[in-house]
């Protein structure tokens, strides 16, 4: 069974750095073609893709947030970490990690999400 679960602070202050961890099971980030991504959703708004990391350490970022985002993997712990600097109240959202299916282009498994609130 494939699962992903997000963890991190529920509340951060404006200008601080957010660090979120995605802990997964049922697959390995050392397997060819496998990746893990982060997607967020502000309250009442649409999904917004943030970043992706692949088995070969290829990293992709949302262009408008590229300067604030860093994604990294720890294959020994089955974890993917996302850091976002200079947090602002507009970054208040539920943050999801999800696995893109190999070769399908679709996120077939999602975590439960974690709500992060940014206070001013």
Partner 1 sequence: SYDLTQPPSVSVSPGQTASIICSGEIVDNKHASWYQQRPGQSPVLVIYQDTKRPSGIPERFSGSSSGNTATLTISGTQAMDEADYYCQAWATTTDVIFGGGTKLTVL
56 Cβ contact partners less than 8 Å away, ≥ 6 residues apart: none
Nearer to partner 1, 5 or 16 (CB): 5
Q: Element (H or E) spanning 36, and its range?
A: strand 35-41
Nearer to partner 1, 6 or 91 (CB): 6
To the nearest whole angstrom, how small is the minimum distance from the Cβ of residue 26 to partner 1?
15
Residues in touch with partner 1 (CB under 8 A): 37, 39, 46-49, 52, 60, 62-63, 96, 98, 101, 104-108, 110-113
Nearer to partner 1, 47 or 72 (CB): 47
To the nearest whole angstrom, how small is the minimum distance from the Cβ of residue 110 to partner 1?
4
């Amino acid at each position: 069974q494939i699962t992903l679960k997000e963890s991190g602070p529920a509340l951060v202050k404006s200008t601080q750095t957010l660090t979120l961890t995605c802990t997964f099971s049922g697959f390995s980030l050392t397997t060819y073609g496998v990746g893990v991504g982060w997607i967020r959703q502000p309250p009442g708004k649409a999904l917004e893709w943030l970043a992706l990391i692949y088995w070969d350490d290829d990293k992709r970022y949302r262009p408008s947030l590229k300067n604030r985002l860093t994604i990294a993997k720890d294959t020994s712990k089955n974890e993917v970490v996302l850091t976002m600097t200079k947090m602002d109240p507009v970054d208040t959202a539920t943050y999801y990690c999800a696995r893109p299916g190999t070769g399908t282009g679709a996120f077939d498994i999602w975590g439960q999400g974690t709500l992060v609130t940014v206070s001013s």
